[in-house]
């Protein structure tokens, strides 16, 4: 196919859009791929739509190849199925809710577990029907709190979502692995660099779940990786290696010290080191008790929770949230302190917590036999050598302390370094939550019902266009990998005379004949404008038909490397076919 720039619905921009924070957003707008319609709402112009369709095609091919079957649901959905699973409310403000003319409640689908479960229940009844994997590539709606970076985080976006239905756990694992393999093929074909991170810690009791994160400095997700092994994980999923328990017998007795003016860890450490206690203290020797409150789903009442972490670390709120989910968690307010006068701000210790029945969870480093400096539950007082397992017994451990570069890798090999990424895919062993909500059963060989177990798997199709742009661009513009480029070859007719124009047209026709897609710059613009646009648009191979034609050559330029080669015009078509088919 030949796309002529003279008539293409495309206007490139010389200036960056004012609202663009990241390169992909800036370039996709400047190169005329997308245009903003509303916060988190973008239209796809011809070149953008071609890239989007290419991504979609690769996703579809690999889904079909693994045996998944494509179906399509409406985006406009009735409330009832989402009411049945509690997600009508659980989704909170992220859900677009609306009413029809009869005042019935509807929503715009953010993800479709309910509908897939109901549909399978409607069609299948026997164990012989299973397993089955269904998918769709469909527009999703989420009223994101912070739509961001153009199509990276939209409120309307294209997602591939698939769902597996199996009779038993082994089947679910198999369906999960099929997806994992297909995702690797998809992201490899798209040419992105990514890591697979475990998304949930075992402590949460969740079943297997992994995220595919495209590496990008501009990413919103932070993850850590080991310097020495392939270990990579979301910060929320990092499990702190616990040191071995120690004997409590040889530890000095706990002593309360008057420590005036030491409300912070820093002032406390300075005070202790100046107090002549015969050893040096660091912030890591102190135990900081951070007060929060949690609320279980469906409950009105908040419960106090004390989180004990080594004083050299902050509580990471996202880790804390992940650790207590599905409960909500919030910081204590003044009123909470006022209602619980045993909490002496700045001097909270394990004693008062335990005497007053406050749930007390500590960092995994607080093992039996470790001695701590912590609050003595009295203003201006701390206790030194309070020994875990002897002087206090926490209710359990919690992964809430920040993870830092240099921490040991949970797999015991190397240390952790921090990196940033953008989530492009998520695979998740759901289990029976949705099957339970809808009583999705298969009749077994023994005529007994078998509760189906599900997996759910997503890929951000439209987000991937931005992710590829994020990973593949330079100061002049976009640089598409061949697999998704809006054209195979971009021919620039650089010159006004008829011979040059005819030469460009002829080459375009030959390439078209050979099955290549050609973007032909046949405009009357100056060569300078055309070259700049070619760089901006980012087709991986640019052919300049210009002055050289008189001596029988055209110039072939590699957009990524900038490398230029002169090719005899008679060989140009076969050269380009070979190049693009490589
Ligand atoms: P995120 O943490 O980025 O909000 P999520 O956990 O909400 O993602 P899922 O519900 O697992 O994402 O959705 C599956 C995939 O859809 C994600 O991996 C991501 O690639 C894509 N996606 C999710 N939200 C958006 C959005 N607002 N805009 C574009 N793509 C999105
Ligand atoms: Mg989200």
| Cα–ligand 1 centroid distance for 460 (angstroms) | 6
| Ligand 1 mutation pick, 113, 162, 458, 462, max ligand atoms within 8 A of CB | 458
Q: What is the pLDDT of residue 205?
A: 39
| Cα–ligand 1 centroid distance for 48 (angstroms) | 20
Confirm or reject: Cβ of 423 under 6 Å from ligand 1. yes
* Positions of CATH 3.90.960.10 in the chain: 255-397
Confirm or reject: Cβ of 150 under 6 Å from ligand 1. no
In this structure, the residue with its CA closest to atom 24 of ligand 1 is 153
| Cα–ligand 1 centroid distance for 136 (angstroms) | 15
Q: What is the pLDDT of residue 147?
A: 84
| Ligand 1 mutation pick, 159, 187, 469, max ligand atoms within 8 A of CB | 159
Closest CA to 546 of 492, 490, 489, 508: 492
| Cα–ligand 1 centroid distance for 108 (angstroms) | 15
* Sign, Cα dihedral of 178, 181, 187, 191: negative
Confirm or reject: Cβ of 365 under 6 Å from ligand 1. no
For the chain (length 582 residues), average pLDDT per consecutive 10?
Answer: 96 89 94 95 97 98 98 96 91 93 97 95 96 97 88 95 96 96 98 87 57 91 89 88 91 93 89 90 96 91 96 94 90 93 93 95 96 94 95 96 94 92 94 92 95 96 97 97 97 94 96 97 95 97 95 96 96 95 74
Token code pair at residue 264: 């912070």
Instruction: Give the C-alpha separation, 206 to 209, whole Å.
Output: 8
Q: What is the pLDDT of residue 200?
A: 66
| Cα–ligand 2 centroid distance for 490 (angstroms) | 37
Three-state SS string over 387-443 comes to EECCCECCCEECCCECCCCCCECCCCCCEEEEEEEEEEEEEEEEECHHHHHHCCEEE
Mapped onto helix, strand or coil, the DSSP state of residue 526 is: coil
Confirm or reject: Cβ of 458 under 6 Å from ligand 1. yes
Cα–Cα distances (Å) from 463 to 12, 93, 182, 209, 527, in that order, read 21, 21, 18, 20, 33
In this structure, the residue with its CA closest to atom 19 of ligand 1 is 460
| Ligand 1 mutation pick, 213, 216, 460, 464, max ligand atoms within 8 A of CB | 460
- Which phi-psi region, left, alpha or beta, contains residue 350 (left: φ > 0; alpha: ψ -120 to 50)? alpha
Q: Which atom from ligand 1 is nearest to the alpha carbon of 424? A: 20
Confirm or reject: Cβ of 142 under 6 Å from ligand 1. yes
| Ligand 1 mutation pick, 149, 212, 426, max ligand atoms within 8 A of CB | 426
Closest CA to 175 of 229, 136, 134: 134
Confirm or reject: Cβ of 425 under 6 Å from ligand 1. yes
CB neighbours of residue 245 within 10 Å: 12
Q: What is the pairing mode between strands 132-141 and 156-166?
A: antiparallel
| Cα–ligand 2 centroid distance for 440 (angstroms) | 27
Instruction: Give the C-alpha separation, 89 to 78, whole Å.
Output: 14
Closest CA to 516 of 534, 541, 533: 541
- pTM as predicted: 0.81
Token code pair at residue 271: 């005070």
Q: Which CATH class is domain 487-580?
A: alpha beta
Confirm or reject: Cβ of 463 under 6 Å from ligand 1. yes
Token code pair at residue 130: 């299973």
R_g of the chain, CA atoms, integer Å:
30
Instruction: Give the C-alpha separation, 273 to 276, whole Å.
Output: 6
Mapped onto helix, strand or coil, the DSSP state of residue 576 is: helix
CATH code of the domain occupying 29-189+433-470 = 3.30.930.10
DSSP letters for 250-284: TSPPPEEEE-TT--SHHHHHHHHHHTT-SS---GG
Determine contact, residues 425/467, Cβ cutoff 8 Å: no
| Cα–ligand 2 centroid distance for 556 (angstroms) | 43
Mapped onto helix, strand or coil, the DSSP state of residue 458 is: strand
Instruction: Give the C-alpha separation, 582 to 576, whole Å.
Output: 10
Determine contact, residues 254/237, Cβ cutoff 8 Å: no
- φ/ψ of 144, rounded to 5, equals -55, 140
Q: What is the pLDDT of residue 71?
A: 97
Output 560-565 pairs: Cβ under 8 A, ≥24 positions apart.
Answer: 560/472, 560/479
Closest CA to 365 of 418, 404, 332, 322: 404
DSSP letters for 111-165: --HHHHHHHHHHH--BGGG--EEEEEEEEEE---SS-BTGGGB-SEEEEEEEEEE
Determine contact, residues 491/518, Cβ cutoff 8 Å: yes
* Positions of CATH 3.40.50.800 in the chain: 487-580
Determine contact, residues 535/543, Cβ cutoff 8 Å: no
Q: What is the pLDDT of residue 114?
A: 94
* Sign, Cα dihedral of 70, 76, 82, 84: negative
The residues, ordered by sequence, that sit 6+ positions from 261 with a Cβ below 8 Å of its Cβ are: 267, 271, 380
DSSP letters for 351-375: HHHHHTT-EEEE-TT--TT-EEEEE
| Cα–ligand 2 centroid distance for 119 (angstroms) | 25
| Cα–ligand 2 centroid distance for 210 (angstroms) | 15
Determine contact, residues 506/518, Cβ cutoff 8 Å: no
| Cα–ligand 2 centroid distance for 144 (angstroms) | 7
In this structure, the residue with its CA closest to atom 25 of ligand 1 is 153
In this structure, the residue with its CA closest to atom 5 of ligand 1 is 423
Closest ligand to Cα 55: 1
Cα–Cα distances (Å) from 55 to 22, 52, 191, 512, in that order, read 21, 5, 11, 22
Token code pair at residue 149: 């970076």
Closest CA to 236 of 195, 197, 201: 201
Q: Which atom from ligand 1 is nearest to the alpha carbon of 111? A: 10
Confirm or reject: Cβ of 112 under 6 Å from ligand 1. no
Confirm or reject: Cβ of 223 under 6 Å from ligand 1. no
* Positions of CATH 3.30.930.10 in the chain: 29-189+433-470
Confirm or reject: Cβ of 42 under 6 Å from ligand 1. no
In this structure, the residue with its CA closest to atom 21 of ligand 1 is 460
Instruction: Give the C-alpha separation, 456 to 108, whole Å.
Output: 19
Element (H or E) spanning 466, and its range?
helix 461-471
Q: Which CATH class is domain 255-397?
A: alpha beta
């Amino acid at each position: 196919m030949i796309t002529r720039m003279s008539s293409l619905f495309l206007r490139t921009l010389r200036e960056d859009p004012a609202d663009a924070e990241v390169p992909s957003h800036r370039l996709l707008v400047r190169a005329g791929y997308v245009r903003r319609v509303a916060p988190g709402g973008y239209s796809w112009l011809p070149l953008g739509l071609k890239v989007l369709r290419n991504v979609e095609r690769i996703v579809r091919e690999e889904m079909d190849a693994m045996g998944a079957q494509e179906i399509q649901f409406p985006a406009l959905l009735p409330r009832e199925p989402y009411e049945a699973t509690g997600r009508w409310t659980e989704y909170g403000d992220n859900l677009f809710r609306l009413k029809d003319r009869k005042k019935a409640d509807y929503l715009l689908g953010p993800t479709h577990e309910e509908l897939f479960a109901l549909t399978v229940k409607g069609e299948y009844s026997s164990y012989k029907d299973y397993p089955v994997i269904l998918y769709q590539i469909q527009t999703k709606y989420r009223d994101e709190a912070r739509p961001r970076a153009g199509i990276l985080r939209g409120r309307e976006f294209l997602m591939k979502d698939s769902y597996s239905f199996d009779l038993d756990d082994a089947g679910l694992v198999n369906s999960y692995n099929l997806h994992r393999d297909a995702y690797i093929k998809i992201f490899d074909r798209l040419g992105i660099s990514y890591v697979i991170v475990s998304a949930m810690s075992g402590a949460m009791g969740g079943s297997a779940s992994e995220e595919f994160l495209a590496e990008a400095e501009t990413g919103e997700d932070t993850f850590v990786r080991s310097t020495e092994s392939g270990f990579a994980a979301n910060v929320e999923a990092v499990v702190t290696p616990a040191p071995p328990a120690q004997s409590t017998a040889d530890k000095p007795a706990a002593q309360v010290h008057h420590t005036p003016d030491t409300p912070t860890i820093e002032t406390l450490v300075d005070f202790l080191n100046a107090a002549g206690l015969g050893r040096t203290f660091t912030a890591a020797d102190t135990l900081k008790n951070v007060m929060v409150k949690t609320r279980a789903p469906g409950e009105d009442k908040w419960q106090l929770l004390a989180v004990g972490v080594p004083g050299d670390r902050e509580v990471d709120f996202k880790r804390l949230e992940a650790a207590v989910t599905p409960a909500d968690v919030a910081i204590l307010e003044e009123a909470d302190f006022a209602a619980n006068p045993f909490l002496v701000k700045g001097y909270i210790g394990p004693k008062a917590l335990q005497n007053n029945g406050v749930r007390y969870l500590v960092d995994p480093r607080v093992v039996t036999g470790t001695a701590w400096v912590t609050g003595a539950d009295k203003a201006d007082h701390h206790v030194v050598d309070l020994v875990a397992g002897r002087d206090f017994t926490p209710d359990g451990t919690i992964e809430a302390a920040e993870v830092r570069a240099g921490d040991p890798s949970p797999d015991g090999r190397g240390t952790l370094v921090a990196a940033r990424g953008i989530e492009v895919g998520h695979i998740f062993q759901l289990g029976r939550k949705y099957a339970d909500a809808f009583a999705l059963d298969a009749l077994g060989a023994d005529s007994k019902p078998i509760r189906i177990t599900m997996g759910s798997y997503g890929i951000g199709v439209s987000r991937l266009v931005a992710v590829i742009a994020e990973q593949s661009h330079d100061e002049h513009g976009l640089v598409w990998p061949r697999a998704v480029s809006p054209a195979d070859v971009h021919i620039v007719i650089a010159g006004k005379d008829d011979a040059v124009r005819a030469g460009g047209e002829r080459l375009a026709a030959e390439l078209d004949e050979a099955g290549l897609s050609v973007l032909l710059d046949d405009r009357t613009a100056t060569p300078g404008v055309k070259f700049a646009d070619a760089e901006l648009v980012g087709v991986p191979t640019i052919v300049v038909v210009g002055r050289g034609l008189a001596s029988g050559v055209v110039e072939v330029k590699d957009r990524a490397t900038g490398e230029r080669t002169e090719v005899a015009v008679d060989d140009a078509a076969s050269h380009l076919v070979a190049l693009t088919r490589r």
